[in-house]
Amino acid sequence: MSDYFKEIEDTPKLYTVRKEFVVDKGFFKLGGSYELIHQTVDGMPNVGWKFRIASQTTPIFGCQNRFYWELFLHVFTNTTIKYKVNFEVTSKNDSVCEEFNGVMNTYKKIGNDKFIMQSDLMSKFLGDYELTIFVKAEFSYTSNQDQRIFGEKPMMQNKFWPIRLQSHGEKDFKFIVGNEAIQIHKFLLTLESEVFAAVLENNNFKEAQTGEIEIQDFKPVIVKAFVVFCYGADISGFMKYTHDAMELLKFADKYDMKNLKVSIEEYYRAKLTKANVAIVLSAANKYNAPELKMMCMKYIQSLPTSEKVDIACSGLNGELRGLFI
């Protein structure tokens, strides 16, 4: 019978949200509402959520109004995702639960405005002083391509970073960028940049004597991103802004920072899109990043002819445009 089954191994990842609340039963007697502030799903930076529980009254013609508790997970996204959401109100003696699943691509209010009637809640949990509310949600992108584009990808030092932790002490070099002084350990700077290594190891240069250099052609945010990267931190939040990321590539090219260049190339191996590929290709061509340039060219060549022409005509100079049309 196994011939009828084919296991698919490379499926989009599941990302989970789990929250647990211990609630005094007095909250339910008084009515009202509780709302958790907006948060982002870990691993899915373009998917946000918030939880809300509230009392609400439903008028019934000819009868006394009915009092219900509503439970909702408000979910926000800008791409298509799958979801499975489970709510459970429980105590040592009993529980009420409900599950919802489906596909969404913008905003969705997931839950039930009549999760449990007030009278049912009070009778079901009659002897309890506290109730526990569990909120469990699973999200996934609908394709590996969306996961590659929208999912988080760290942008940080490679596995050889630990060798750089052999020196400590005060930071002994400064980048002067406008009115800001951005500090770094000199030994890290010389490890990262062939240009700075040559300058700082030669006392004939002013920078070696003063312990600082003025940077006039880059914004502070670019230099700060480089320094943070040197200390092994994740700069993927910075890399989301393509124009700034390409300025960092320019910085790496100017000061011969091979490790930073390789890391930028590795980041874009998973982050090229139709929206950014022309910007990245132009920068890779200009700032001597042949691996990145080749990745961009292969990506564009893989697109349908109409999309290939749109990218070539709208975002590339004559030399690069001629490679595709």
CATH number for the domain spanning 181: value is 3.30.710.10
State which of 123, 150, 177 marks the end of a domain: 150
- pLDDT at residue 166 tops 60: no
- pLDDT at residue 223 tops 50: yes
Residue 201: its pLDDT value, please?
87
Which residue segment(s) compose the domain that 66 sits in? 2-150
State which of 150, 179, 201 marks the end of a domain: 150
- pLDDT at residue 110 tops 80: yes
Say if residue 202 is in the same domain as residue 62: no
- pLDDT at residue 65 tops 80: no
- pLDDT at residue 143 tops 60: yes
Say how far apart CA 204 and CA 21 lie, in whole Å.
65
State which of 99, 120, 150 marks the end of a domain: 150
Say how far apart CA 238 and CA 244 lie, in whole Å.
7
Residue 61: its pLDDT value, please?
57
Stretch 262-285: mean pLDDT, rounded? 92
Residue 64: its pLDDT value, please?
64
How many domains is the chain partitioned into structurally?
Answer: 2
Say how far apart CA 72 and CA 53 lie, in whole Å.
7
Which is it for strands 66-77 and 33-35: parallel, antiparallel or unpaired? unpaired
Put simply, whether the predicted model's pTM sits higher than 0.75 gets the answer no
For residues 78 and 106, is the Cβ–Cβ distance under 8 A?
yes
In a domain, 66, yes or no: yes
Residue 293: its pLDDT value, please?
93
Q: Which residue has the higher pLDDT, 159 or 135?
A: 135
Q: Out of 4-13, 269-278, 280-289, 293-302, pick the least confident.
A: 4-13
Long-range Cβ contact pairs of 94-103 (< 8 A, separation 24 or more): 94/124, 94/125, 96/121, 96/124, 98/71, 103/142
Stretch 182-209: mean pLDDT, rounded? 89
Say if residue 196 is in the same domain as residue 124: no
Using a pLDDT cut of 90, give the percent of the chain over it: 54
In a domain, 227, yes or no: yes
Say if residue 175 is in the same domain as residue 298: yes
Say if residue 206 is in the same domain as residue 289: yes
Query: pLDDT class for 52, splitting at 50, 70, 90?
Result: very high
Say if residue 103 is in the same domain as residue 36: yes
- Domain at 140, CATH number: 2.60.210.10
Residue 1: its pLDDT value, please?
55
Residue 163: its pLDDT value, please?
47
Query: pLDDT class for 90, splitting at 50, 70, 90?
Result: very high
Radius of gyration, alpha carbons of the chain = 28
Beta-carbon contacts of 61 under 8 Å, excluding residues fewer than 6 positions away, are none
In a domain, 131, yes or no: yes
Say how far apart CA 17 and CA 13 lie, in whole Å.
13
Stretch 263-270: mean pLDDT, rounded? 90
Mean pLDDT of the chain: 88
Stretch 95-110: mean pLDDT, rounded? 95
Say if residue 241 is in the same domain as residue 118: no
Say if residue 259 is in the same domain as residue 309: yes
Phi and psi angles of residue 76, each rounded to the nearest 5 degrees, phi first? -125, 135
